[in-house]
Amino acid sequence: MRYFFLVLLALIFASCSSKELIVNKEKQEVEKEVKPKQETKKVVEIADLIDIPQNVEFFTNSLNARVETYPIQKKYEQYYFNVWNDIEPREKLEDVKWPFFSYKAGNSYGENFELLKQEFFDEMFQNANFDNYATINAKAITLRHADIRAFPTIKPLLRDPEKAGEGFPFDYLQNSTVYANKPLFVSHYSKDKEWVYAFSSFTSGWIKTSDIVFLKKEHTDSWQNAQQIFLLKEDVPIYSTNGDFLFSSKIGMMLALISEDKENFTALVISSYKNLTPMFERVKISKNIARKEILNLDREALAHIMNEVFKSNYGWGGMYGQRDCSSTLRDMYAPFGIWLPRNSSQQAKVGRIITLENLSDEEKISLIKEEAVPFQTLLYKKGHIVLYVGTVDDEIIVFHNTWGIKTKKNDVEGRVVVGKTVFSTLRLGSNLEDYDKEAEILTNLKSMNILTQ
């Protein structure tokens, strides 16, 4: 029984320390006063959201009740735990510095919609403490839902808020989020030690030190050798044996199983520090919201999981406990044992890839209808990814989480905000008077990829 290994998890935690770095840079100040321009949700009728059923079962009912298990579904745990098997950071130092090359004074704005000064970027670089990169190299785990940031700060970095599709909610320092009890590999502390630079299985960045706990190798070996359970319900509160709230469940979470009875699983979680030691908790998880085995891509399972992620509004980089286009698909496929990378461009490289470049719209439609497998095929355009679910009245229908529809009038760009998960055609918003055809999903499709092939 794999449960045996969990006995080892009662061992004591050992912490690490890091050195400090001071970087001096010549400072420049660039200021420009701008008027905050709010991107409001226009009260308009989007034909797709009226004419296309916004009902998961409408699309899943045509699927088979039983399907085979695909090879891709047997590798999920290997990907999920891979950072616990690293001995050094998986990226070079220069590669993790990318935010400091991408975001600079002069075109970056703060929470007050004013230009950020060079002083801000100097302080961030100094606090990033890159001289101590790869000095800790320790295994860790998240204690709660945690943001992964591009700079060691909770402050936002926005592009020009005067432009449509910029400003709120697009905080470019929001890399992603990780759920409670997610494996991490920690490189080093920030200079002030409020943050750690950490790697998860799908991304890296700065996480609050208070949101993690370090683990020894015997802890992580035992954890990943145990039987795992997948959580299949959103936002169910998980409590300790004393009745204290620990965190809420999310689709995409996986926990180590200790034992089970007729109605519940008993799972292991780590809740908080206690005297610099990780606190191990036994929690009861109802079998109504969890399962030991991966799900098959059948009618009932897809309907259940998609209904859960369908509840998500749009959240750039997972902000506010919501999801964006790629995290919607990443989490949706997790209970099926299909591991997807974090961003859309990388997700588009999983499985059998079929290019759609240099094709007319009509040729793309014909090829998608011929090759795409419903609920197993992703369609990709730069910056956005969608799931093919079939056709309605011979029109291709996709499932995706999207912020809005680009419009243009007299060469001035705008947005009609959608801000949630929807079923739509590849011409979402085409009924709008100022619809920008050049920004259309169909017109800009680059590829499709069938995950199971």
- Residue 1 pLDDT greater than 80, yes or no: no
Judgement on whether residues 174 and 112 belong to the same structural domain of the protein: yes
Residue 408 lies in a domain: yes
Judgement on whether residues 254 and 127 belong to the same structural domain of the protein: no
Pairing verdict, β 254-260 and 245-248:
unpaired
Residue 220 lies in a domain: no
Q: CA 44, CA 431: separation in Å to the nearest integer?
A: 10
What are 168-179's pLDDT values in tens digits? 899 999 999 999
pLDDT at residue number 21 = 30
Judgement on whether residues 281 and 146 belong to the same structural domain of the protein: no
- Residue 5 pLDDT greater than 80, yes or no: no
Judgement on whether residues 129 and 182 belong to the same structural domain of the protein: yes
At 31, is the secondary structure helix, strand, or coil?
Answer: coil
Cα separation values, 407 from 221, 413, 414, 423, Å: 52, 6, 5, 20
Residue 18 lies in a domain: no
- End-of-domain residue from the set 241, 266, 291: 291
- Residue 6 pLDDT greater than 90, yes or no: no
Residue 4 lies in a domain: no
Report the pLDDT averaged over residues 219-226.
95
Question: Which residues span the domain enclosing 188?
Answer: 76-215
- End-of-domain residue from the set 291, 324, 339: 291
- Confirm if 223 and 240 have CB atoms less than 8 A apart: no
Please report which confidence band the pLDDT of residue 159 belongs to, taking 50, 70 and 90 as the band edges: very high
pLDDT at residue number 271 = 84
Which residues in 130-227 belong to E strands, given as ranges?
A: 138-142, 146-149, 174-178, 183-189, 195-199, 204-208, 212-215
Judgement on whether residues 325 and 285 belong to the same structural domain of the protein: no
Judgement on whether residues 209 and 110 belong to the same structural domain of the protein: yes
Judgement on whether residues 144 and 208 belong to the same structural domain of the protein: yes
Judgement on whether residues 287 and 259 belong to the same structural domain of the protein: yes
Report the pLDDT averaged over residues 121-140.
98
Name the domain count of the chain. 3
Judgement on whether residues 394 and 425 belong to the same structural domain of the protein: yes
Judgement on whether residues 306 and 393 belong to the same structural domain of the protein: yes
- Residue 334 pLDDT greater than 70, yes or no: yes
